[in-house]
Structures are given as C-alpha cells and as structure tokens.
Chain A
Amino acid sequence: MTRQDAAETHRAIILVVERDPHVRALETFFLNEAGFGVEFASDGQVALAMAREMQPDIIITEVLVPKLDGLALCRAVRKEPELKNTVVLIFSILAAQSRAREAGADAFLMKPLAEQRLVTTVRELLARRASAVAAASHP
C-alpha cells in the first residue's frame, strides 16, 4: 500500500518491523481493526528500503530485528529528509526507553502487546504529527 492508496481510503499506513509471527499476526489484526493499513518487514534493512518507497505514517519496530536493529533503523530514518514526517514507535521486549529516545524515536512501548495501549499510542502520535505538519505548513 502506498501513501497515495492510503490517502484514497483515508487510512494511515503503518510499517511494522517484527519477526515474531504471533506478535505480527496479532498486531496486524488489532491495527486493521482500528482502521490502519499495515505492511510488514522482518528485518531492519528491508524495512528501511520499504520506508523510502512507501513513506509510511508510522514505523513500529522491535529493537531486536536482524541486519539493522530497530534503534539503528530509527537513526537511519531520522537522517532521511523524505521521511521527516514519519513517526517512529519502538515496541520492544527490551526495556530500552532511554536508548529509544536517544535514537530519535517518538515513543516507546514495552511488550507484550496490549491492543488498547498500542492503538491509543498510534492515534496520539498521528494526531501530534498532523498538528506538527499543519504548524510547519502555516508558520
């Protein structure tokens, strides 16, 4: 799903970077239920390539993913001008809140998956991003 596709359906695109099949399946289900479009990558390098192409609204990434870990992915995204409006949410089994902040993540959530917490956080991040984008376009 591209940003254009999503815009036509008014759905935000979420790129989930996760290799645990159960987390992935449940995350898809609950995010879809909440009205979001979801795409997957199972390693950080693929995720970065997909992000450049898709320009997702949010990247939700586990820290522990192969090739390029979630924190390195976050730092790489922050260096891409094309992805300046993409929100990064670190969602991990590791208690890496401060490292996530240092890497430039917008938010951190600890696993396990609690759908209400996840969906609420995603909505808040999207609302915050929309305000920031609006403020930037009408200075």
Chain B
Amino acid sequence: MTAVEANQNSFPRISTGNPQADLVLGGGLPANSLNIVMGQPGTGKTVFAEQLMFANAGPDRPTIYVSTLSEPMSKMVSYVQRFSYFDGTKLGSEILYEDIGPLLASDGPAALVPWLSELIKRSSPKLIVIDSFRAIHDLSSSPPDMRRMVSDFAGLVSAYDVTVLLLGEYTLDDIDRYPEFAVSDSVIQLARQPLGTRDERFLRVLKLRGSAYREGRHAFRITGDGIQLFPRLISPRMATSYTPRLERTSTGVPGLDEMLEGGFWGGTTTLVIGPTGSGKTTMAMHFALEGIARKEPTLYVNFQENPAQLARAFANLGIDLEAALSSGFELIYVSPVELQIDSIVVGIFDRIKDGKIRRVVIDAVGDLANAANDSQRLHDYLYSLVQHFAVNDVTSMLTFESGISTDGGLDAHQQRLSYMSDNVLAISLGGEERTRRTIRVVKTRNSGHDPVVRQLDITSAGARVS
C-alpha cells in the first residue's frame, strides 16, 4: 500500500451511489466537502446527484435538494421515480426539496448564505445539492459581490458537517471565471460528444483535493439504474513483475504448435494478422475449441458473427455451441454498430478479473478500432487489457485485419499492436487467384520458432499447417 493509499483509507468519504464512480474517485467524494458537477444540459448531472442522494439518505439527518430555478418538486419527482434507485418512502422525510428561486429573484444572490445558515440550523442536513449554482451568477450584476458571496458560502459550508454538491451548466471556460471552482474540493465534468450517428457520454474528474483519482475520460451511459460508468482501464501495478507461465498452451491448429516449439506460453497474447478471408476467425475458433476440449474456461469476444452464425461456424468444426456455453465457454457478442470500446473492454475485464477465465479470443481488434474515435485511446486500452491478461494468467488471441502487404512486413498500426503482443502470426493470401494461404510466425517472446513461411490450408474440417 502506498502512502497516498494509506492516507485515502483514513480519509472519510461518501459514496456516489455508483461503485464505478467511487472507484474513479478513489473511494467516493470526500466527506464534508464542496463539490461541483458541471456539464451542459442533458449530460446527466441531476441523475448523478439523485443517485448520490438516494444512496446516502438515512433517518439520522436529511439530504436536501435546493432548486435555484423555481423548478416545481412535482416535476423533479415525476422524472426521478423512473429510476430504480428511487425510493418514495424517503421523500419528504430523509430527502427534502427546497426552492430558493423566488427568494434569489427578489433579494439577489446575497440572500443565499443567510438562508442556508438558517436551513442548517433548522434541518441539520448531511448533504445539500444546489441545482443550479451557475444560474445564481445570472442574478448578479456585480462580479465582486458574487465573489464575496461565494467566499462566504464556502466558509459556511466548510464550518459545518455537511457535504455539498453544486450542479451547474458550466463550460470549461467557466473554471477560470467563477470563484466556486477555486474554493471547491472536487470538480467532476459530465459531457457528451457526437460519435458517428450516436452520442458518447463521458465523466472526467478535473479536481479532487487531497486524493488520487483515475484521470482521463470514463465513458458512461444512463440506464434505468442511473449512471452506468465504465472506468478507463489502467494497467495493473504488478505488470512489471509478471513472468509468463512456463507451460505451453496448444494453438489447436494441427501443425502450428510445431512452428512454435509446442504452442504459446501460457499467459501470453498472440496477435493474428491477415487480410479478409485469410482464416483469422478460423484460427481464433481453433484456439477457443482447444480451450473447450481442455475444459479451460474460455471467453470468446466477437463483433462479426451473431450467436446464430457463430453456432453454425462452431458446428462445422464439430462443436455444439449451446453445450459449450453450459460448460464454461462464455460468449460476448456486440454488433459493430453498437460498439463502444469502453463498455467492451471493461466488460472483458469484468469477466477475467475473478481469475476463472483461462483463454480469451477477441475477433477482431479492427472492429474496436473502427468504433474508437481516438486510436491512441484504443491502444492504451488494449495495452492495459493485455497486461491484465498477463497478470491473470489468461492466454489470449487477438485478430486484426490487415491490408494486403506486398513485402510481408507490418505497417505502423500493426507494429503498435505487435509491441503489446507476445506472439505475432501473419497470414497471407497468394497465388494468382489469391487463394493460396501461407502463415508465418513473425515473433514469439521468450521462445524460439520456425521462421519458415508455411502453407495454411482451411477446409470444412478446419485449419491445418503443412
């Protein structure tokens, strides 16, 4: 445990009501703190706050939601009760709604602190959400007055045992402009950006005083359970100390093990590169089938064939997919049009983290690349995932569709994928009709291999190297 972690363990926190968001925040929001959740309308600020409110509500002291926009409680309630975290028995007793809109409109922003002080004396709240704090700026014509008010406000809420959440339609430019960002203990940004025909949402921690947190963009979606967050995968700390298992794992392809001195080392990652129709998926299926035959729990991640198509392909190789699924074989299928790399990669990680899965196939990494608008991010994710495979002793195979290389070498994209892989197999199509398949072992880490280009035959019975 590091000194920072030891400190974090003694740092009182309150849960956001979302375990994944708590993970990103290093354990939750600091207790007795002033926090900002910023984002444009429709980014999920209210859902984030409500989830936190219902998770922390209790009979001891109330949680208070303060509207500055004169939004009627009935409107808030009509929406919140659609979520699974809603508990109607808590409304009016453990969770209170207050409207300060009319007071602010008549007396100006200076009315906030005295009102809040009375609220604290009257209700002893443990959590206060103010929605929207940014809107209060619109009621002020004097930035110096507003600055004084914010300073006074921060003084009041830090004097008392209460955690405060300020919601606001802030932009990144507002961070330098508005004083609440300087006095806040944390700033969480929620945003959405177009990606193809859909939008991608992400959460980012911009500030968290006195605590480490997971930096970067964490994708999320809003479901009936609230915010479903996919924390950006980071490499495991013990990656540097990992050593491949000294036990060979069969590729499942007759003749290929001989090229690899008996198969892949256990716990390694193999990249299979080749053009369309070269047999990458068949190779991947053989690898998975070998896992089934050896009763090794195997995860098959596939973006091309739907389960029915995959069942047919497995049946051609003599395997009943239904039977396999009931005996340790797991399948993740996501249509290429629905791909969101964060959810896929985190989904894979969730399956392997308990240590049961021994083999993983991802067919094909190129589909993930097409779904990602940031190739650097994809590579970071894949690198982290491969590191997690290694420390969890998972032997993996990734397929990647290449262009048709004239000299048999790897292009820049393939080179980057190659660096993160222990083994690389390249399949080529040759001959006048481009029907003659050959396979070459490009590299094997910590192992010798047959460097000769061999013939790869794919028939209805499967693949064979000769």
Contact = CB atoms under 8 A, between A and B. Distances in A.
Interface of A: 20-23, 25-26, 29-30, 111-117
Contacts of B117: 22, 25-26
Given A20-B155, A22-B155, A113 B160 contact: yes
B120 A26 contact: yes
Contacts of B162: 112
A86 to B, nearest CB: 25
Given A22-B155, A23-B159, A113-B159, A29 B32 contact: no
Contact of B159 (A112, A116, A117): A112
Given A20-B155, A22-B155, A22-B156, A113 B161 contact: yes
A30 to B, nearest CB: 8
Q: Which of A22, A23, A25, A29 has the most CB of B within 10 A?
A: A22
Contacts of A115: 124, 161
Contacts of A25: 117
B370 interface: no
B373 interface: no
A26 to B, nearest CB: 6
A117 B61 CA distance: 13
Contacts of A111: 159
Contacts of A113: 159-161
Given A21-B155, A22-B117, 11 more contacts: A20-B159, A25-B117, A26-B117, A26-B121, A26-B160, A111-B159, A113-B160, A113-B161, A115-B124, A116-B124, A117-B161
Nearest to B60: A116
Given A22-B117, A26-B121, A29-B121, A112 B160 contact: yes
Contacts of B155: 20-22
Given A29-B121, A112-B32, A115-B124, A22 B159 contact: yes
B152 to A, nearest CB: 8
B70 interface: no
B158 interface: yes
5 contacts: A22-B156, A22-B159, A112-B159, A112-B162, A115-B161
A22 B32 CA distance: 15
Q: Per DSSP, are chain B's interface residues mostly helix, strand or loop, or mixed? A: helix
Interface in B157-175: 158-162
A116 B160 CA distance: 12
Contacts of B158: 22, 112
Contacts of A21: 155
A113 B156 CA distance: 11
A136 B396 CA distance: 78
Contact of B161 (A22, A29, A112): A112
B161 A114 contact: yes
A65 B159 CA distance: 15
A21 B162 CA distance: 17
A26 B124 contact: no
Contacts of A29: 121
Contacts of B156: 22
Nearest to A24: B159
A25 B156 CA distance: 10
The 6 A-B residue pairs with the shortest CB-CB distance, nearest first, are A114-B161, A22-B159, A23-B159, A22-B156, A112-B161, A22-B155
A111 B157 CA distance: 12
A117 B121 CA distance: 15
B269 to A, nearest CB: 47
Tell which of B155, B159, B162 has the most Cβ of chain A within 10 Å: B159
Nearest to B159: A22
A113 B158 CA distance: 9
A18 B155 CA distance: 14
A121 to B, nearest CB: 13
A113 B117 CA distance: 13
A117 B161 CA distance: 10
A41 B141 CA distance: 37
Contacts of B161: 112-115, 117
Nearest to A117: B161
Contacts of B159: 20, 22-23, 26, 111-113
B459 to A, nearest CB: 73
A21 B156 CA distance: 9
B116 to A, nearest CB: 10
Nearest to B161: A114
Contacts of A116: 124
B377 to A, nearest CB: 40
A22 B124 CA distance: 15
Interface string B3-45: 0000000000000000000000000000010000000000000
A69 B162 CA distance: 27
Interface string B389-403: 000000000000000
A25 B120 CA distance: 11
A115 B224 CA distance: 38
Interface in B77-96: none
Nearest to B61: A116
A28 to B, nearest CB: 10
Interface string B129-163: 00000000000000000000000000110111110
A115 B120 CA distance: 11
Contacts of A112: 32, 158-162
A117 to B, nearest CB: 8
A64 to B, nearest CB: 13
B34 to A, nearest CB: 11
A37 B126 CA distance: 26
